[in-house]
């Protein structure tokens, strides 16, 4: 029965989730919640990673510090940000790098010893024409948008972006530097069809980007490399480039969308990343908040935290339109309702079910980490609660086979419904 969905059992006893081949975790990391190596590296991270993209628009500095303090207090040592953040970019208060500045102020406040306890990840933006993000790399604030430089991933741009992030983060090194999206054309953010007419002949070669990151590694400014919003072709080319440059062991993660509503990673990318020891950092595990139940009309959604006026799709209904209740497809809304009903039968909130499902995926459980964020402390605590076992042991609450079967039935009826051509 679904009511017995949550079982307090060791992750190593669950079929398909053995971590016996993972590197052993040093005893000094006992305070890190469900600690694991990221990819095949020596970078030890918590099972949950705090996402920060609301810092600077929906959350102010005080809100952000409260979230960071709470996350640290429950054993989250992994913080993810980006030079692009906060979002959405069309918000009146948006400014490129504002989130990194807030995180940097927090790092300065807690001091060097506590900073050493954290794993700080940020991201360099890929190709974007006439971008305020590229201007911010040069310290330019405002001006004529038509005169902004393009965001690119050539050697000079990568190094410029890294130095700007280091300044904003007020730290001497970035633990994980990720490429937010490629310089070349790829379908992004829910698109599934490759458009040959969109190929750009001037795309920066991956090897050039990788060589710039190698230089930064050698200078001690970054420690490891991660990808984001990447395709199987991109992963394979990055593996080849880093092997050629002698830094293959530094390529450790990929940050792609993954949730009940977007399971595209389950196929080719899961095989490839497993083979190369690259861990997944899934983003939008709650589909921008849609899977939390907060926007529900109440049918079959059980217990959940209701949306406030500051909730993403209340404040910015046009942002992430594929998941926004006002514009999402009917299939997306129907699937969301079906998953909420399963959560109710399990005695879970919709958020808890959505997060618990992602925790069962081997490409996360073995060597990845789940990015969670929130606009309120109440929501953050609910989102982090599934990771907090008794006495912070590695006993996880894993969904039963019956629940996975019920989830898969909905998935087969509504496969990745929020994705589009």
Q: How far apart are the first and last CA of the chain?
A: 38
Q: What are phi and psi of 55, to 5 degrees?
A: -70, 115
Q: How confident is the model at residue 304 (pLDDT cuts 50, 70, 90)?
A: low
Q: Which residue has the higher pLDDT, 111 or 4?
A: 111
Contact 181, 155 (CB under 8 A): no
For the stretch 158-175, pLDDT in tens is 999 999 999 999 999 999
Q: What is the mean pLDDT of the chain?
A: 89
Mean pLDDT for the stretch of residues 306-310: 68
- Residues serving a catalytic function are 85
Q: Which residue has the higher pLDDT, 56 or 22?
A: 56
pLDDT, residue 307, reads 64
For the stretch 128-162, pLDDT in tens is 999 999 999 998 877 788 899 999 999 999 999 99
pLDDT, residue 216, reads 98
Q: Which residue has the higher pLDDT, 226 or 7?
A: 226
pLDDT above 70 coverage of the chain, percent = 89
Does the pLDDT at position 277 exceed 50? yes
pLDDT, residue 293, reads 86
pLDDT above 90 coverage of the chain, percent = 74
Of 172, 135, 167, nearest to 151 (Cα)?
135
Contact 6, 385 (CB under 8 A): no
Q: Which residue has the higher pLDDT, 226 or 17?
A: 226
pLDDT, residue 12, reads 33
For the stretch 59-111, pLDDT in tens is 999 999 999 999 999 999 999 999 999 999 999 999 999 999 999 999 999 99
Q: Which residue has the higher pLDDT, 419 or 300?
A: 419
Structure tokens at 47: 């099972």
115-140: burial string, b at 16+ Cβ within 10 Å, e else: beebbbbbbbbbbbeebbbbbbbeee
Does the pLDDT at position 15 exceed 50? no
């Amino acid at each position: 029965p679904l009511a017995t969905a949550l079982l307090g059992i060791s992750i190593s006893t669950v079929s398909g989730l053995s971590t016996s081949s993972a590197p052993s975790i040093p005893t000094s990391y006992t305070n890190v919640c469900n600690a694991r190596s990221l990819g095949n590296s020596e970078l030890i991270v918590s099972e949950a990673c705090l996402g920060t993209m609301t810092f600077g628009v929906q959350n102010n500095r005080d809100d952000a510090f409260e979230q960071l303090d709470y996350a640290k207090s429950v054993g989250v040592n992994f913080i993810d940000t980006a030079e692009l953040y906060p979002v959405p970019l069309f918000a009146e208060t948006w400014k490129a790098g504002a989130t990194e500045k807030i995180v940097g102020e927090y790092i300065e406040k807690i001091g060097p010893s506590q900073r050493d306890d954290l794993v700080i990840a940020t991201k360099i933006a890929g190709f974007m024409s006439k971008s305020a993000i590229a201007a911010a790399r040069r310290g330019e604030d405002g001006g004529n948008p038509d005169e902004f430089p393009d965001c690119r991933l050539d050697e000079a741009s990568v190094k410029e972006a890294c130095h700007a992030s280091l300044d904003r983060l007020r730290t001497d090194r970035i633990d994980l530097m990720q490429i937010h999206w490629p310089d070349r054309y790829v379908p992004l953010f829910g698109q599934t069809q490759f458009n040959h007419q969109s190929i750009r002949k001037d795309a920066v070669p991956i090897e050039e980007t990788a060589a710039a990151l190698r230089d930064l590694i050698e200078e001690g400014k970054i420690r490891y490399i991660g990808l984001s919003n990447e395709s199987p072709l991109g992963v394979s080319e990055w593996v080849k480039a880093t092997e050629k440059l002698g830094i293959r062991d530094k390529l450790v993660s990929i940050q792609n969308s993954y949730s009940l509503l977007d399971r595209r990673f389950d196929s080719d990318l899961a095989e490839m990343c497993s083979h190369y020891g690259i861990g997944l950092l899934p983003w939008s595990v709650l589909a921008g908040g849609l899977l939390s139940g907060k926007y529900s009309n109440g049918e079959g959604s059980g217990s959940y935290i209701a949306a406030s006026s500051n909730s993403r799709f209340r404040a910015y209904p046009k942002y992430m339109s594929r998941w926004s209740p006002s514009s999402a497809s009917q299939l997306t809304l129907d699937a969301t309702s079906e998953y909420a009903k399963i959560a109710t039968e399990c005695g879970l909130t919709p958020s808890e079910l959505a997060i618990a499902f992602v925790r069962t995926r081997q490409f996360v459980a073995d060597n990845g980490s789940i990015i969670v964020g929130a606009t309120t402390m109440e929501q953050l605590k609910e989102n982090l609660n599934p990771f907090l076992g008794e006495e912070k042991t590695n006993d996880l609450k894993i969904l039963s086979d019956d629940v996975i079967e019920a989830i898969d039935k909905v998935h087969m009826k509504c496969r990745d419904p929020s994705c589009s051509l």
